[in-house]
Chain A
Amino acid sequence: MSQSAFVVLLVVVAALSFDFTNGFHDTANAMATSIATGALPPRVAVGLSAVLNVVGAFISIAVATTIAKGIVDSHAITVGTVFAGLVGAIVWNLVTWYLGLPSSSSHALIGGLVGASLVTAGTGAVEFGGILSKVILPAVISPVVAGLAALLATSLAFRITARSPREATARGYKLGQIGSAAMVSLAHGTNDAQKTMGVITLALISGGLLGDNAGVPVWVILACAVVIGAGTYLGGWRVIRTLGKGLTEITTPQGFAAESCSSAVILVSSHFGFPLSTTQVCSGSIMGAGAARRLSDVRWSVAGRMVLAWLVTLPGSAAIAGFANLVARGVGGLPGTILIALACAAFSAGIWLLSRRNAINPDNVNAPIPEGARSPLAVQEA
C-alpha cells in the first residue's frame, strides 16, 4: 500500500470514528424526552433511534458533498487537513459527551475543518461570511424559534386537555411522543450520516482514489449508515440525562410538544435551505416546553452551561484541529499523521476510562438528581 493510500485509510477510519461519536452524542436529541417520561424504555428508545438513523442515512444523500461548501475553500483542503479536522471534531465530541453537554456535532466538524484549513492555507482558505450566515446565525436563531414554538404548543396542549382525564391523555401523549421522536431520529439520519459520507468522499477524491466528479460510493453509504446506527444504539446516556432530566422535569405533553416542534423546525428549515443543528433545535424545544409550565421549572444554570458550550464549540474544535495539524505538519509526512492518530486514540480511551468513575447507563439515566447538585450527572443513591 502506498503512503498516500495509507493516509486516506486513516482518514476513513477517523471519519467513521467521528460518525460513531456523532451517533451516540446525538441520540439524546430524539430520545431524551421519551426516556424521561417513560414513553419508551431506555434500551428500546436507543434501538428505535438507531434503526431510524440507519434508514435515514439511505433516504437521501443530497447533502453528502456540501459539508464544507461555502465555508472552506475546497481547493485548499488536503487529506492531512481533513484528518486534523476530524481529530478536532472527535476530541470535542468526546469532551462534551463526558461533561454531558449537548453540543452540535456538525459545528464541531465544521470548526475542525476550519481550524485545520487555517493552519494549512491561512485565512484566505476560510470563507468567514459563510461561517456567519451558515453556522452562527442559524445557531442563534434556531433554538429561539424552536423554544418559542414548543412554549406555545405546550401551553395550547395544556389548555386543550385541561378538562380531559389526565391518565388517558398522558397515555395518548406517550404514543405521540414515540411518533415525534421517530421523526427527529429519521431527520437526524438524513442529515448527519451524510456529512461523514461527504468527508470520506472528499478524502478519496483528494487522495486520487476517486474521480473529481464521482458520487458517494455505495460502501461509504453503507459504512456510514451502520456506524452512526451503532453509535446511536450505544446511547450517549450522559447527554440523554442532561436533556431529559437535567434541563427540566418533563411531562408527556411537554415531551410530545418539544419533539413535534423540533421536527417542524428541522424539516421546514431544511426545506427552505437554512442549515441548522439538530442538537440546538431539540435543546431549545425542551427549554421552551419546560418554561411553558413555569419559568422556574427550567434549571437555568444547566441551560447556561449548555449555551456556553454552543458558543465555544466552533472555536474549541477549530483550536484542537489547528493544533493537531500544526503538530502533524511539524513532524511531517506519514509519521506526523500516525502520531496524531495515536494521540487521538489514547485521548479517547482516557475519556472513556474517566467516564467509568461516574457511569450513566440505562439503569440510572432517569434516577433523581440529588438536592443542591450542580451537575445533572449527579445521581441520587437509591
Chain B
Amino acid sequence: MTLLAALVDWGALLRTAVIALVIGAAVVSVYSVGLVGVGRFTTLQPGLPRVAALALALGCFAVCLGAVAVGILLMVQKTGG
C-alpha cells in the first residue's frame, strides 16, 4: 500500500474518474432531452409550446456540439506526459 501511495496520486485519479463519469452522463442526458424536444416539436400544434420545444432541442444540441468542440480542443492541445 505504501508503494502504491508513493506511485499514484489517488486524489487526482478520483477527481479524473468523477469528472469523466459526470461529463459522460451529462452529455448523454442533454442529448436525450434534445431528442425529447424534437419529439414534442413534431407532435405539437403550432403555438408557443411548439416553439419552446424547438428552442429546448436547439439549446441541448448546441451544448452537445460545444462538448464536441472542447473534446477536439483537448486533442489538439494534448501534451506528452
Instruction: List chain A positions with a Cβ less than 8 A from chain B.
Output: 56, 59-60, 62-66, 129, 132-133, 137, 141, 145-146, 148-150, 152-154, 156-157, 160-161, 163-165, 168-169, 172-173, 176, 179, 183, 186-187, 190, 253, 256-257, 260-261, 263-265, 267-275
Contacts and interface: CB of A to CB of B under 8 A. Distances in A.
B12 interface: yes
Given A157-B32, A160-B29, A265 B20 contact: yes
A62 B7 contact: no
A273 B28 contact: no
Interface string B24-49: 11011101111110110011000000
B3 A187 contact: no
Contact of B29 (A141, A153, A172): A153
Contact of B20 (A59, A154, A269, A273): A269
A168 B71 CA distance: 27
A270 B29 CA distance: 23
A375 B39 CA distance: 40
A164 B39 contact: yes
Given A156-B28, A157-B29, A160-B33, A168 B38 contact: yes
A59 B79 CA distance: 12
Given A176-B64, A270-B74, 12 more contacts: A56-B75, A62-B79, A62-B80, A133-B8, A149-B21, A157-B29, A160-B36, A165-B39, A168-B38, A168-B42, A179-B64, A257-B24
Interface of B: 3-4, 7-8, 12-13, 15-17, 19-21, 23-25, 27-29, 31-36, 38-39, 42-43, 64, 68, 71-72, 74-81
